[in-house]
Structure 1
Amino acid sequence: MLDGWTQTLGAGPLLGIAAGAVLLILLLVIKLRVHAFITLVVVSVLTAVVTGLPTDKLMDVLLYGFSGTLGEVALLVCLGAILGRLIEHSGGAKSVAEAMVKAFGEKHAAFALGVTSLLLGFPIFFDAGLIVMLPIIFAVARRMGGRNLLLYGIGGAAAFSVMHVFLPPHPGPVTATVDYGANLGIVMLIGIVIAFPTWYLSGYLWGKFVNSRIPLAVPALFGSIDEDQPVRPPKARTVIGILIIPVVLIFLNTGLTTLVDTGALEGDQLWVQALILIGNSPIALLITALVALVVLGSARGEKGSALEKLVDGTFGPVASVILITGAGGMFGGVLELSGIGDALADTLADVGLPTIVAAYVISVILRLAQGSATVALVTTAGLMAPAVTAGSYGTVDVAAITLATAAGSVFGSHVNDSGFWLVGKLMDMDVKTTLKTWTVQQALESVIAFVLVLVVYLIF
């Protein structure tokens, strides 16, 4: 895209530009109340110009991050919203909420939701998993009083984040494992060991704490609730069965892809290609939405025109979520292509820290600088791989360095991360509240996981 162009600014000026851009976003959104979408587009353009990106490639640079983020996010959010609206409208979410509260008790409902999200998060990506679980999370929160969004929402979102960042077969840890030459089984074993305490401390307990300070009402993302409807709500097991469909399909995709990549399975077989195709997150959610249209719609007597209006009504509430998330990706893409991350990485590589600490710190800086956890993880792994290879580290040591890099990549999600906008807007939080809740949660998740990995590194 930028062939022939070289960034001439040093790390200092680039870091200053990135910091100034972030501050400008916060000023415009929080103080001046400018809409987040407009703010992110304006600041992205200004940042691209100030960092010296070629003007004839300016639109390509802007669309790189916007379209790359928007393409998949739009599909996931729209299909997930359809699924969520059907579950909510049919009374299925309320049925599941009642069943969960009955099974686990009122005091343990938030914990049970978090553990469920951890299990679902093993095969399913962060954004897709969050979309699938939100109807249930919102329904349980309403069942328990209504002004306790953070207790349930933060715990659920944190669970998907932990699994996405630390557990193969998610792409970030798998890529880092390959770059470092780590043993995938050992990485997965250590990841499983640290996943639960990391979630419990940074997700569940943090959710309880921040909920007591910031009581938020549950948003009506999937439509308003009519207590007189429906007359015949589906059973909880029916809804759970529908929600399991994308999990199974995505698990097949990730499992088969891993087997193909390791050479244990021939990837050119038709049945393998077919299962990998239907296990892609958007296709899996599409299939699930179609099943839900039949089971929760037409099979319950909903007519075609009513279903059409129901589906059409889901897109309005999520349009802002999609556009703002795409604009967040645009800003992150500008920061990435301008060379800010590369300049910082090159500078930090010469600091002389212990390898596991250097991997974590570089990953943190890259995450804060350009927003994408995956980019931070992959870039750091590529940068640190020669040092790890030359260091004659043991199998557990290399696995620990891999997970330390992953821990750094999740630190402090803020305005240059599309995930920040996705979580904030799905939970109907303003920027200030999202910074105080989600950004802090991501920082806690990062630090706690790194400490746990460091213990493993030092003991074994």
Structure 2
Amino acid sequence: MEDLVLNWDLGTGGLLLLAVAAVAVLLVLIMAFKVHAFLALMVTSIGTALAAGIPPNRLVEALGFGFNPTLGNVMLLVALGAMLGRMIEASGGAHVLSERMIQLFGERRAGLALSVASLLMGFPIFFDAGLVVMMPIIYAVARRVGGSFLSIALPSAVAFSAMHIFSPPHPGPVAASATVGADVGLVLVTGLVFALIIWGTVAPVASRLIGARIDVPVPDILGDEDEKTGFESRPKVSTIILLLLLPLVLILLNTALNTVASTTSDPDAFKATPWVAILRALGETPIALLITVFASMFVLGWGAGKSGTLVEKIADSALGPICSVVLVTGAGGMFGGVLRATGIGDAVAESLNGIGLPVIVAAFLISQIVRLAQGSATVALTTAASLMAGVVAAGDYNQMQVVALVMAMSAGSVGFSHVNDSGFWLVSRFFGMSMKQTLGSWTLIQGAMAIVGFVLSLILWAVASAL
């Protein structure tokens, strides 16, 4: 869509007004008129595109700009993760693992144990894939513990999000580091520290305050554990843990090989080595999940004496319930993509860049406002990094100051996720929340993560400036 020429130039102010009006229309359609989120997002995306001046003959192209890549990425991860989750749920694996966790940590600390596990899984695994894989365990623990489902589930989501936003090897901080010339090793260490502090600060508050305020039942999107399917086998706890660790190990292998490649004189040649290329392919997230799904079919199904027909039936039963999740998430990406195609993010970022704010404040605000305007955290972070690259190149900043800028941009990119963010709809659907409930919980949580991250960035900037 880079070659798109709008029929008219609305200017930065006009584009901002259009974005605000589009969000308002979407809220009214869903909350007041009870239009299904998928249809409301589609109608709003079409109206926004036409109002921005996108030519009618390129309307479908504009809709596909955000929808196609979002749907492609989410569909593979959610479908494979749901199949794995359904195998674990239907076999009784989620039940036995949740019982063991409660025995080891107690009911009061079960949610904490889940969120610690999510932190570990969140280091190499993307937010959406990690969350989907963990959902059957989160559901099972919440059923055993009782009380507020969100008090158990939200800390895990915070853990995955913090790792995804602040720490390499995730794409946002890696791309930003490369753009502004930050040392990736320093960004990795600093990002891990930031992620841990933000998780430790925000997750307990989210669990206590929001969990007590919003009461939703445990979703049954991956099936009801009391349902009798004939697939039950009461697998060993160690078997379930190994299945959950398998994709983690494969993805870590990919990350390790990429890290080794970056230390060689010719990274591309190293990656092209046949055995390296094969191992890296096995560690790509969709491939790692696919391997794990087949492993679960063998261990929990065929190897446990279940018929191939039953195994196929259980796998197929996972796909129907997540259809709505995938389509609504893709439509959220469509809405954000249309806003990106209008150029609103670039226009706002360039305007802010010329105001003359302190560099650390500008880095945060540009990323935050682009995030609010078009939804994608990764796009917000890379846009801010592109604009700040010239400032960094022209200034005399030490490496820790540059790392502080990357952290400030990362903090801005996570803030106040709302209806134009595909991740907002993923959390909404998997946590069984309405749009209003998601705005009153996940949006506020992401905003708190952004504020804490920015404060930490300011502290790091002050310390680095004094060196």
Q: Same fold (TM over 0.5)?
A: yes
Say which of 408, 423, 426 aligns to 1:419. Answer: 423
Separation in structure 2 between the aligned mates of residue 177 and residue 38 of structure 1, nearest angstrom: 38
1:397-426 Cα shifts (integer Å, max 9, x gaps):
110111110000000110000000011111
User: Are the aligned partners of 2:142 and 2:218 in contact in 1 as well (CA < 8 Å)?
Assistant: yes
Closer/same/farther in 2, CA of residues 33 and 150 from structure 1, 3 Å limit? same
User: Are the aligned partners of 1:169 and 1:255 in contact in 2 as well (CA < 8 Å)?
Assistant: no
RMSD: 1.4
The residue aligned with 1:24 is 25
The residue aligned with 1:119 is 120
Separation in structure 2 between the aligned mates of residue 81 and residue 30 of structure 1, nearest angstrom: 28
Q: Which has the larger displacement, 222-231 or 154-163?
A: 222-231
For residue 222 of structure 2, give the secondary structure of its aligned residue in structure 1.
coil
Separation in structure 1 between the aligned mates of residue 424 and residue 141 of structure 2, nearest angstrom: 23
The residue aligned with 2:206 is 206
User: Are the aligned partners of 1:367 and 1:408 in contact in 2 as well (CA < 8 Å)?
Assistant: yes
The residue aligned with 1:159 is 159
The residue aligned with 1:431 is 435
The residue aligned with 2:16 is 15
The residue aligned with 1:217 is 217
Separation in structure 1 between the aligned mates of residue 307 and residue 388 of structure 2, nearest angstrom: 59
After TM superposition, the score normalised by the length of structure 2 is: 0.96
Closer/same/farther in 2, CA of residues 50 and 284 from structure 1, 3 Å limit? same
The residue aligned with 1:186 is 186
The residue aligned with 1:69 is 70
Q: Which amino acid aligns with 2:385?
A: A
Q: Which has the larger displacement, 394-403 or 307-316?
A: 307-316
The residue aligned with 1:58 is 59
Task: Give the 5 Å matches for 1:344-383.
Answer: 344-383=348-387
The residue aligned with 1:137 is 138
1:389 matched to 2:393: yes
The residue aligned with 2:444 is 440
Q: Which has the larger displacement, 222-231 or 31-40?
A: 222-231
Separation in structure 2 between the aligned mates of residue 155 and residue 296 of structure 1, nearest angstrom: 29
Aligned residues with identical type, % of pairs = 49
1:313 matched to 2:333: no
Separation in structure 2 between the aligned mates of residue 333 and residue 378 of structure 1, nearest angstrom: 15
Q: Which has the larger displacement, 5-14 or 17-26?
A: 5-14
Q: CA deviation at 1:62?
A: 0.6
Q: Which amino acid aligns with 2:221?
A: L
The residue aligned with 1:260 is 261
Separation in structure 2 between the aligned mates of residue 3 and residue 446 of structure 1, nearest angstrom: 33
The residue aligned with 1:39 is 40
User: Are the aligned partners of 1:114 and 1:204 in contact in 2 as well (CA < 8 Å)?
Assistant: no
1:271-319 Cα shifts (integer Å, max 9, x gaps):
1111111111111111000000111111122111111211111111100
Separation in structure 1 between the aligned mates of residue 166 and residue 368 of structure 2, nearest angstrom: 15
- The count of corresponding residues between Structure 1 and Structure 2 is 459
The residue aligned with 2:104 is 103
Separation in structure 1 between the aligned mates of residue 148 and residue 246 of structure 2, nearest angstrom: 29
Q: Which amino acid aligns with 1:120?
A: M
User: Are the aligned partners of 2:364 and 2:412 in contact in 1 as well (CA < 8 Å)?
Assistant: yes
Q: Which amino acid aligns with 2:378?
A: T
Q: Which amino acid aligns with 1:186?
A: L
User: Are the aligned partners of 2:231 and 2:306 in contact in 1 as well (CA < 8 Å)?
Assistant: no
After TM superposition, the score normalised by the length of structure 1 is: 0.97
Q: CA deviation at 1:230?
A: 6.6
Q: CA deviation at 1:262?
A: 5.0
1:241-292 Cα shifts (integer Å, max 9, x gaps):
0011111111112222343345465111011111111111111111000000
1:132-155 Cα shifts (integer Å, max 9, x gaps):
11111111111101x422112111
Q: Which has the larger displacement, 220-229 or 442-451?
A: 220-229
Q: CA deviation at 1:221?
A: 1.4
